[in-house]
Amino acid sequence: MAIDAADFVARVRSVVGESATPIGLHEPELGEIDKQYLSDCIDSTFVSSVGAFIPEFEQRMQEITGAKYAIAASNGTSALHIALYVVGVEPGDEVMVPSLSFVATANAVAHAGAVPHFIDSEYATLGLSPEALRARLSQMKREGGKVYNPETGARIAAISPMHALGHPVRIKEIVAIADEYGIPVVEDAAESLGSFVDGQHTGTFGLTGMISFNGNKIVTTGGGGVILTNDDAIGKRAKHITTTAKLPHKWEFEHDELAWNYRMTNLTAALGMAQLQKLDGFMAEKRIIAERYAAAFEGFEGAKFVAEPAGTTSNYWLCAVQLDEPSLEQRDALLQACHDVGILARPMWNLLHKQRMYSSAPAADLEVATALHASLICLPSTPRLARR
Ligand SMILES: Cc1ncc(COP(=O)(O)O)c(C=O)c1O
């Protein structure tokens, strides 16, 4: 049955309101305090890779997430690359990831020289399915304490679940399964700043995790990321290799290994410090927006609002609705109807195993990810929408 597009748009409109200009999916919220911090940073002349805002930002991210280490990085992709590298992902390895994710989840694996190995998602969380993970791992070969893909001969070096749209995956179950196999978990928590499971912040369950501060995230630094870990050796190493592996010295330039310049700038961290002051307010506003969408789609024929997984606190980074029947045609007709009136709704990302770089990468059955891809529509979720 075709969904009534006019009714769909009217329900979205009841939440986002009228606007003379297009209503974006997620717009940065910048104001006086952001200008002030940036101005202070410029006045200090410390606008580059050294400055007081960087350790302050790292400290604040430790407090917010409860992680022992929060290492600032140039963006979420570089943070994820290093989060994989420091747990021991090496060229030729495979890393199990969801196919339903942003391309960076797989790109970071490839930047580490490894190959993504795609695992199915689940309806309840939109993220990696623990059951699908267990089923796939049971097909792998265990030898000498390591796990190998019998088809490719590659080692499974890490599992990298992603908290889609800010909704936490069943991370405790995923970590428990990974532990059984002795495989480290690297959490892609790019989208889930402010999302918790049983009071623990996403990104802190795995051996490492990361968060993105890209312009479309709940708080933005323009571009930036942090690597999270509770492990002393890994935390110190991550800091060292994201900062060119330079040995501390007043004037000597001695670097003890090949490393990266993945540093966050002080200017970026200054904006981050301003933005983090608003995080609690943004999170409260996101819940208001979520409640309004949930109410607007109550009783709607053909689609339902995507609520946070039971037992978790989502930051509701992007609110979404899910069609009862997966259909790319129906999905695109609704997206078109929204765009026709300046509501810039979006689909989920195209499945990673279909992207040309990864079309021959190993993949398990991806039935649920395929259905979710054809049924999810993300709706405008900028915090200010709650203030109307
Ligand atoms: C799931 C996911 N992983 C990784 C990233 C990479 O972050 P960045 O854009 O900061 O490189 C993003 C978003 O941008 C993301 O949504």
> 336 exposed, middle or buried (CB, 10 Å; 0-12, 13-18, 19+)?
exposed
Same structural domain, 195 and 326: no
**Cα–Cα distance for residue pair 89/157, rounded to 1 Å:** 5
**Cα–Cα distance for residue pair 11/337, rounded to 1 Å:** 12
Same structural domain, 198 and 272: yes
The pLDDT value recorded for residue 384 is 97
Same structural domain, 250 and 313: no
Q: Whose CA is nearest to atom 10 of ligand 1?
A: 76
Same structural domain, 199 and 336: no
The pLDDT value recorded for residue 76 is 98
Testing ligand 1's pocket by substitution, the residue of 193, 214, 220, 226 carrying the most ligand atoms inside 8 A of its CB is: 214
Among 276, 304, 325, identify where a domain stops.
Answer: 276
The pTM (predicted TM-score) of the whole model is 0.98
CATH code (residue 335):
3.90.1150.10
Nearest atom of ligand 1 to the alpha carbon of 162: 1
Same structural domain, 41 and 139: yes
Q: How far is the CA of 272 from the centre of ligand 1 (A)?
A: 16
Output the six-digit token pair for 170: 């069943």
Number of domains in the chain: 2
Among 276, 303, 324, identify where a domain stops.
Answer: 276
CATH code (residue 97):
3.40.640.10
Q: Whose CA is nearest to atom 4 of ligand 1?
A: 104
Nearest atom of ligand 1 to the alpha carbon of 104: 4
Give the number of other CB atoms < 10 A from CB of residue 368: 20
Same structural domain, 352 and 269: no
Same structural domain, 270 and 329: no
Same structural domain, 220 and 247: yes
With H, G, I as helix, E, B as strand and everything else as coil, classify residue 209.
strand
Same structural domain, 290 and 341: yes
Assess contact for 213 and 223: CB atoms under 8 A: yes
Averages of pLDDT over each 10 residues, the chain, 388 residues:
94 97 97 98 97 98 98 98 98 98 98 98 98 98 97 98 98 98 98 98 98 97 98 98 97 97 98 98 98 98 97 98 98 98 98 98 98 98 96
> 68 exposed, middle or buried (CB, 10 Å; 0-12, 13-18, 19+)?
middle
**Cα–Cα distance for residue pair 141/154, rounded to 1 Å:** 10
Q: Which residue range is the domain that position 349 belongs to?
A: 5-29+279-387
Same structural domain, 241 and 151: yes
Same structural domain, 150 and 218: yes
**Cα–Cα distance for residue pair 37/275, rounded to 1 Å:** 10
Nearest atom of ligand 1 to the alpha carbon of 216: 14
The pLDDT value recorded for residue 1 is 74
With H, G, I as helix, E, B as strand and everything else as coil, classify residue 105.
helix
Among 235, 260, 276, identify where a domain stops.
Answer: 276
Residues having CB within 6 Å of any atom of ligand 1: 75-77, 80, 101-102, 104-105, 162, 188, 190-191, 212, 214, 225
What is the H or E stretch that residue 329 is in?
A: helix 328-340
Same structural domain, 341 and 255: no
